[in-house]
Amino acid sequence: MASTRNRLKHDVASETQASDLSARINLCQTITDALSASRKVLTEHQENLTFNDPTIEAKIFIEYAFEKTSMQLITQSGELLCEDGKKKLISTLSKRIYGYPVAYIVGFQPFWTLNLRVSEHTLIPRSDSEIVVETAIGLPLSKDANVLDLGTGTGAIALAIKSERSHWIVSGCDFKEEIIELARANASLNSLNVEFVLSNWFSGITATQAFDLIVSNPPYVESNSIWLNQGDVRFEPDSALTSGIDGLDDIRHIISKGTEYLKSGGYLLLEHGHQQANVIQQLLLQQGYQEVTTKQDLNGLDRATLGRWLV
């Protein structure tokens, strides 16, 4: 399975597919033509593109390739296409029909009310994680609460929390310099004051018993899950997705180590797989956390579990 994922990572469309694609896009004269040709190409390859909508993706790629707003796609629909834009569209579609995620192609993904830069070093933010933000901002924390987002990736959860609770002191950490740079870029892009530090889980966090809330969307997929062979996840880093055979290695570590970093009365809030709620509740209770509850995501699936450290 690992080899399938690697092969996908380094490949793009085959040569025949690429020349057919170039011919079809080069025949287009206007934005309307390009929209319709792109939609057709994406529809033909839909089986490799889990969860895509060819009409929406065609619009996103034309906006990206020709540097247009969605309004301009309508008002300039008859405008003649420039050669550079066509080249960019061909290269974009050739990556996409091989399954490469839209967010990695255009370099951005919306999350909460924010627009975030993404890179192959991190997971693409998902709407599943919005329940983590919603639960966090609903907690009765003090005005100057200290909040830590462990394994922050793009910074999505930390930045969304800060955007809603500007008086909280929010920081985030992750284990690679490239990720920290990305999260910092997202903080400045969205004008949010969140500090991002290099730390492999708690290894670089010196302040013990300091946090009112620790949140995390850690890797939680089982290492041999068939889910890893479908759609966007084929191109996302294993380090952000999988965590041992039951997917719980990192969650176990965070639950046990979290007790040293939480203030008394502080909360630990974890995103997890939709079938992991029971086991995570048990792990939290065994460790001595109280007020343990699970929240559902937008699809009604168990997605985040909260515990309170009251020792």
Q: How far apart are the C-alpha atoms of 288 and 309, rounded to whole Å? A: 7
Query: Judged by CB, which is closer to ligand GLN: 95, or 272?
Result: 272
Stretch that binds ligand GLN, among 25-33, 195-203, 218-226, 278-286 (CB under 6 A): 218-226
Q: Which of 99, 219, 237, 266 binds ligand GLN (CB under 6 A)?
A: 219
Nearer to ligand GLN among residue 156 and residue 194 (C-beta)? 156
Q: Residue 67 in contact with residue 31, Cβ under 8 Å? A: no
Task: Find the part of the chain contacting ligand GLN (CB under 6 A) among 57-65, 111-119, 214-222, 291-299.
Answer: 214-222
Single out the segment in contact with ligand GLN by CB under 6 A; choices: 38-46, 98-106, 154-162, 215-223. 215-223
Strands (DSSP E) contained in 73-125 are 108-111, 114-117
Q: Are 304 and 135 in contact (CB under 8 A)?
A: yes
Half-sphere exposure of 103 (CA within 13 A, CB side): 22
Q: For the chain, how many residues are written?
A: 311
Among 106, 221, 279, 292, binds ligand GLN (CB under 6 A): 221
Q: Which is nearer to ligand GLN, 105 or 241 (CB)?
A: 241
* SS3 at position 269: strand
- Closest contact distance (angstroms) between CB of 49 and ligand GLN is 15
Of the candidates 104, 168, 196, 220, which one interacts with ligand GLN according to CB under 6 A?
A: 220
Q: Which stretch binds ligand GLN (CB under 6 A): 29-37, 61-69, 111-119, 120-128?
A: 120-128
Rounded distance between C-alpha atoms, residue 276 and residue 284, angstroms: 12
Closer residue to ligand GLN, CB minimum distance, 27 or 298: 298
CB closer to ligand GLN, 31 vs 241:
241
Nearest in space to 157 (alpha carbons), one of 177, 174, 143: 174
* Three-class secondary structure of residue 242 per DSSP: strand
| CB-based burial label for 162 (10 Å; 0-12, 13-18, 19+) | buried
Stretch that binds ligand GLN, among 142-150, 162-170, 219-227, 288-296 (CB under 6 A): 219-227
Q: Which of residues 225-284 bind ligand GLN (CB under 6 A)?
A: 233, 241
Task: With CA atoms as reference, report the closest residue to 106 among 97, 116, 301.
Answer: 116
45: tokens are: 């390859």
Tell me which of 20, 53, 128, 181 binds ligand GLN, using CB under 6 A: 128
Q: Does 217 bind ligand GLN (CB under 6 A)?
A: yes
CA distances from 4 to 7, 49, 177 (A): 5, 16, 27
For residue 94 the two structure tokens come to: 């050739």
Between CA 224 and CA 236, with CA 230 as vertex, the angle to 5 degrees is 80
CB atoms within 10 A of CB 185: 16
Tell me whether residue 128 or residue 164 sits nearer to ligand GLN (CB atom): 128
Shortest distance (Å) from residue 219 CB to ligand GLN:
4
Total residues in contact with ligand GLN, by rule CB under 6 A: 9
With CB under 6 A as the contact rule, which of the stretches 77-85, 191-199, 212-220, 257-265 interacts with ligand GLN? Answer: 212-220
Interface residues with ligand GLN (CB under 6 A) are: 123, 126, 128, 217, 219-221, 233, 241
